């Protein structure tokens, strides 16, 4: 009976662990008043007030302008003025349709799938992308990690998919699944890189589960500094798969080390005033000026290092202190970037470069986790074109600039084969937004 129950439970968990479409709020950190939408690929039907069709087959060369008017949205398409409505929807007429969003504040971005627009009480537009789950994931991977090898993207896709499936209800009260910021997962554009799409496709249906088949928490950070942290040292719960592990792969990477200089007076008075530490006690003083961490510590004089990290906006809690008496400063020598729990992205990049298999890398960072393949996985529609994507990646490696003749090719347009430099610009820009400190409530 018990066995039957656990099999049923496992089956339920497995069946629940995939999704078709997700609703993602775009530009969720910006106030958008006016939005201009143009069309890069395919045609869209424009609806207002739920089912009222305003115009069908809107495509390249046309643009939809939406702006608030009183408590309603004013809609026009090129020179045609349609009046005001409570909500607007742009529905893709085909699987591959691309919208280009140009808000009056905020950067231009492109997305696939449908768009729902309404007005928030604040007067800002609420823009929600209703998109295929795997298409969303590829966009997340592009926004969350850098690198050149497809296994890097495969790994990021697995942990991002696991997180998303576990957190589908995160913004339920707001009427959508996720925001597009690191509060959920960054989704700053649709995926325009064939190599990232390939990594995401290779990971289709793969998630990380615990020994009972339940999806695990998959926190990640930029760089562990050489040692990851236990979950309970950063948040509350001690999770068996989020254990501190030695991580030499993170050493010698971009975010491995940091230095911060603080005036000694400010440093000491912070502990005296904020934490009521007696700084005239010689033992306390010695600790505050000469604290060292060979391995990750959790507290300094009883104060959580996570609190000190937030108060001083440090890159990590993994630091040691040195005094510069001549200048009257303390110098913090730190390792890593981020909370340190779970997967180190730069450690992952290094491990992939060393040829370590992707499943071993995941097991290195998530102790005892099991890689699960969902046989019912909803795959990305571009998966049918894997061979052609492989060809594009190969051509991409060999050419500095894409030929414009590709413009009419369907896949070429999907990956927006613009100048290579232009693509790398989007990529580098997103790389900077790489700090992951999700606020976990466990
Ligand atoms: Zn969010």
- Per DSSP bridges, beta strands 220-221 and 343-344 are parallel
Ligand 1: centre distance to CA 183 (Å): 4
Q: What is the mean pLDDT of residues 84-95?
A: 95
Ligand 1: centre distance to CA 167 (Å): 10
The pLDDT assigned to 287 comes to 97
Ligand 1: centre distance to CA 7 (Å): 33
Ligand 1: centre distance to CA 160 (Å): 14
Quick one: which of 132, 167, 139, 163 has its CA closest to 153? 139
Q: For residue 418, what are its two tokens? A: 């613009």
Q: What is the mean pLDDT of residues 264-277?
A: 97
- pLDDT confidence band for 390 (50 / 70 / 90): confident
How high is the mean pLDDT of the chain? 88
Ligand 1: centre distance to CA 420 (Å): 31
Ligand 1: centre distance to CA 200 (Å): 22
Q: In the predicted model, is pLDDT for residue 428 greater than 50? A: no
Percent with pLDDT over 90 in the chain: 73
Ligand 1: centre distance to CA 241 (Å): 24
Q: What is the mean pLDDT of residues 241-250?
A: 98
Quick one: which of 401, 429, 414 has its CA closest to 142? 429
Ligand 1: centre distance to CA 22 (Å): 13
- pLDDT confidence band for 289 (50 / 70 / 90): very high
Ligand 1: centre distance to CA 437 (Å): 12
**Which strands sit side by side in the sheet containing 44-48, from one edge to the other?**
52-58, 44-48, 87-92, 114-119, 125-132, 21-26, 178-179
The pLDDT assigned to 416 comes to 58
Q: What is the mean pLDDT of residues 90-114?
A: 92
**Distance between CA atoms of 368 and 243, rounded to whole angstroms?**
10
Ligand 1: centre distance to CA 171 (Å): 7
For residues 316-331, one letter each, b for 16 or more C-beta atoms within 10 angstroms of the residue's C-beta and e for the rest, the string is bbbbebeeeeeeebbb
Ligand 1: centre distance to CA 136 (Å): 14
Rg, the chain, Cα only: 25
Quick one: which of 160, 147, 133 has its CA closest to 193? 147
Q: DSSP string spanning 311-342?
A: HHT-S-S-EEEEEETTTTEEEEEEE-BS--BS
Q: In the predicted model, is pLDDT for residue 2 greater than 80? A: no
Quick one: which of 56, 124, 121, 55 has its CA closest to 83? 55
Ligand 1: centre distance to CA 291 (Å): 36
Ligand 1: centre distance to CA 440 (Å): 12
Ligand 1: centre distance to CA 392 (Å): 34
The pLDDT assigned to 378 comes to 74
The pLDDT assigned to 383 comes to 81
Cα 167 to Cα 4, 96, 172, 439, 441: the distances in Å are 27, 27, 10, 13, 12
- pLDDT confidence band for 106 (50 / 70 / 90): confident
User: Lowest-confidence range among 366-375, 386-395, 409-418?
Assistant: 409-418
**Distance between CA atoms of 100 and 38, rounded to whole angstroms?**
5
- Per DSSP bridges, beta strands 98-103 and 35-41 are antiparallel
Ligand 1: centre distance to CA 138 (Å): 17
Q: For residue 309, what are its two tokens? A: 């990290």
The pLDDT assigned to 17 comes to 57
User: Lowest-confidence range among 5-19, 121-135, 271-285, 289-303?
Assistant: 5-19
Each residue of 111-170: pLDDT tens digit? 999 999 999 999 999 999 999 999 999 999 999 998 889 999 999 999 999 999 999 999
Return the higher-pLDDT residue of 424 and 253: 253
Ligand 1: centre distance to CA 91 (Å): 24
Return the higher-pLDDT residue of 121 and 411: 121
Ligand 1: centre distance to CA 192 (Å): 23
Ligand 1: centre distance to CA 25 (Å): 9
pTM of this prediction?
A: 0.86
Ligand 1: centre distance to CA 165 (Å): 14
Ligand 1: centre distance to CA 60 (Å): 32
- pLDDT confidence band for 430 (50 / 70 / 90): very low
- pLDDT confidence band for 46 (50 / 70 / 90): very high
Percent with pLDDT over 70 in the chain: 86
Ligand 1: centre distance to CA 441 (Å): 13
The pLDDT assigned to 426 comes to 46
Q: In the predicted model, is pLDDT for residue 254 greater than 90? A: yes
Ligand 1: centre distance to CA 30 (Å): 13
Q: In the predicted model, is pLDDT for residue 328 greater than 60? A: yes
Q: In the predicted model, is pLDDT for residue 192 greater than 90? A: no
Contact 228, 247 (CB under 8 A): yes
Ligand 1: centre distance to CA 24 (Å): 9
User: Lowest-confidence range among 150-154, 228-232, 303-307, 420-424?
Assistant: 420-424
The per-type count for the chain, helices as H runs and strands as E runs, is 13, 22
The pLDDT assigned to 429 comes to 41
């Amino acid at each position: 009976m018990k066995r039957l129950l656990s099999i049923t439970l496992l089956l339920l968990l497995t069946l629940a662990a995939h999704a078709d479409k997700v609703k993602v709020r775009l530009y969720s950190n910006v106030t958008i008043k006016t939005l201009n939408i143009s069309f890069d690929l395919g045609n869209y039907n424009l609806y207002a007030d739920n089912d009222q069709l305003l115009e069908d087959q809107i495509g390249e060369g046309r643009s939809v302008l939406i702006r608030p008017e009183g408590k309603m949205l004013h809609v026009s398409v090129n020179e045609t003025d349609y009046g005001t409505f409570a909500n607007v929807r742009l529905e893709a007429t085909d699987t591959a349709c691309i919208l280009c969003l140009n808000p009056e504040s905020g950067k231009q971005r492109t997305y696939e799938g449908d768009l729902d627009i309404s007005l928030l009480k604040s007067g800002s537009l609420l823009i929600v992308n209703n998109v295929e789950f795997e298409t969303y994931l590829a966009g997340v991977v592009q926004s969350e990690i850098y690198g050149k090898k497809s296994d890097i993207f495969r790994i990021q896709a697995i942990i991002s998919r696991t997180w998303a499936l576990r957190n589908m209800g995160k913004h339920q009260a707001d009427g959508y699944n996720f925001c597009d910021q690191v509060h959920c997962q960054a989704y700053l554009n649709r995926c325009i890189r064939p190599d990232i799409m390939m990594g995401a496709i290779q990971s289709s249906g793969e998630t990380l589960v615990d020994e009972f088949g339940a999806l695990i928490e998959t926190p990640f950070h930029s760089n562990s500094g050489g040692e990851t942290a236990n979950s309970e040292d950063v948040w509350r719960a001690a999770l068996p798969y989020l254990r501190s592990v030695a991580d030499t792969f993170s050493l010698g990477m971009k975010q491995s080390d940091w230095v911060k200089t603080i005036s000694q007076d400010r440093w000491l008075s912070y502990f005296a005033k904020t934490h009521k530490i007696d700084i005239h006690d010689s033992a306390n003083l010695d600790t505050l000026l000469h604290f060292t961490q060979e391995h990750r510590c959790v507290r300094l004089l009883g104060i959580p290092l996570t609190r000190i990290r937030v108060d001083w906006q440090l890159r990590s809690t993994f630091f040691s202190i040195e005094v510069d008496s001549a200048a009257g400063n303390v110098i913090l020598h730190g390792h890593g970037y981020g909370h340190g729990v779970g997967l180190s992205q730069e450690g992952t990049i290094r491990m992939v470069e060393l040829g370590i298999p992707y499943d071993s890398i995941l097991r290195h960072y998530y102790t005892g986790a099991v890689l699960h393949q969902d046989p019912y996985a909803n795959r990305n529609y571009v998966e049918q074109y894997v061979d052609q994507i492989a060809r594009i990646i190969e051509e991409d490696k060999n050419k500095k600039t894409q030929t414009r003749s590709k413009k009419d090719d369907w896949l070429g347009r999907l990956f927006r084969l613009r100048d290579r430099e232009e693509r790398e610009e989007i990529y580098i820009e997103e790389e900077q937004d790489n700090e992951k400190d999700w606020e976990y409530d466990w």
